[in-house]
Amino acid sequence: MMDNVMNISNLSCNRHCEPQGTKWEAIYSKTRLRRSYPTLNDVLRFFGNDFKKYSVLLILIIVLGAFSNSIAQNYKASSKIDTNKIAIGDQVNLKLQFTFPVNSRINWADFTDTLTQSVEVVSRSKFDSTVSSDKKFLTLSQTLRITSFDSGNYVIPPFVFGYFKPNDTTKFEILTDSLLFHVQTVAVDTTKAIKDLKGIMSAPLTFEEILPYILVGVAAILVSLLIFWYIMRRRKNKPLFTLPEKPKIPAHIIALEELEKLRNQKLWQSGKVKDYHTFLTDILRIYIEKQFGIYAMEMTSDEIIAALKPQNITEESKTKMRNILFTADLVKFAKSQPLPSEHDLSLNYAVEFVNGTIPAKSNNVNEINN
């Protein structure tokens, strides 16, 4: 093999030099009268069967190189800066972008809040993703807000992205290009005199700043009013809080409900005649007391009849009340036993008396409700 390489090196000599090697001399001797350099056929005859091996190897290298290059093109990383020249303290956007197949695993570039000694990262945006039209590639991007407070030229080093191919645990890396970053100072006119520092300027107050004071003032006023109201209620011996009174049930409604309960108890049917007439007259006495303001509970039957005379009551109602009281007195004091019809008649007279003495206002309300 080395002999062949040495013989190929002899091809570079000028037209008057004599090639070395017996095999080449035979070929050269046939062609020296025609030309001073070998042709492609001469090279093929020189390598013989070995040329096929070399050609296959060369084709394999070219194919593998093209294949690896096509795979590498599936992964693209880039870094781009809005402008590479800023003044001290200014901020600029630096955009990172990484494109890769959707079925790949990646590691995003790792960096701190300081890209170089003097270039700092102020903020980082959230990741933004874009899928290619054929749904095969995914592009992730992130924007960094960077600044610097030292003038000079700086080189932002490449960002390193890692990725894993499908069904492969080998980690590969791809780098972005480095970026040149120039920070310039603020131009100063040295021909002008140096001015004194300006005094502290007062900023106008905002509503958010005034709001706490307003709330404190309103709270103080409310507390003062509450204390004043408390003192005045105590001086007048009034309760602090008065519960609303329940609406009073009219006396006639209570009386009618009690009479109906008495009817359902069936006392006289069970032999409790005295209890029946006592409860009946008590219901009417309470009704008269609430309806007319007459203390009937402490009065005798005759006193009740006398107290009802000046009231605006019909004579029929007064007569029914007189019969009820008279029958009850006979039962309680004379141990009389009225007829069954007389028991029901006393109860019916009591219901009619209550209905006949309902105030006109209550009648109007009942009519409206009905």
Q: Tell me what pLDDT residue 33 has.
A: 40
Answer whether 0.95 is exceeded by the pTM: no
Which tokens belong to 234? 């105590």
What is the longest distance spanned by two Cα atoms in the chain? 178
Output phi, psi for 106, to 5 deg.
-130, 160
Q: Tell me what pLDDT residue 49 has.
A: 54
For residues 100 and 106, the answer to whether their CB atoms sit within 8 Å is yes
Tens digits of residue pLDDT in 178-191 = 999 899 987 777 78
Q: What is the mean pLDDT of each run of 10 residues along the chain (370 residues)?
A: 39 42 47 47 57 59 52 80 90 93 90 88 92 91 92 92 89 92 82 79 84 92 92 81 75 89 86 86 89 86 86 86 86 81 86 85 46
Which tokens belong to 253? 């409604």
CA–CA gap between residue 120 and residue 118 (Å, rounded): 6
CA–CA gap between residue 358 and residue 248 (Å, rounded): 15
Number of alpha carbons in the 13 Å side-chain half-sphere of residue 6 = 7
Q: How many CB atoms lie within 10 A of CB 214?
A: 10
Tens digits of residue pLDDT in 201-249 = 888 888 888 899 999 999 999 999 999 988 888 888 877 767 676 778 8
The counts of H helices and E strands in the chain are 11, 11
The answer for residues whose C-beta is within 8 angstroms of residue 18's C-beta and 6 or more apart is: none
Through-space distance between the first and last CA atoms of the chain, rounded to whole angstroms: 128
Q: Tell me what pLDDT residue 206 has.
A: 87
- The H or E element spanning position 244 is none
Among 57, 27, 33, 19, which Cα is nearest to 45's? 27
Q: Tell me what pLDDT residue 305 has.
A: 86
Output phi, psi for 150, to 5 deg.
-125, 130
Which tokens belong to 138? 């995914």
Sign of CA dihedral 323, 328, 331, 337: positive
CA distances from 25 to 8, 42, 200, 211 (A): 13, 12, 99, 107
- The H or E element spanning position 108 is none
Tens digits of residue pLDDT in 23-52 = 444 444 444 444 444 555 655 555 555 555
Please spell the DSSP secondary structure of 317-335, one letter per residue: HHHHHHHHHHHHHHHHHS-
Q: Tell me what pLDDT residue 46 has.
A: 57
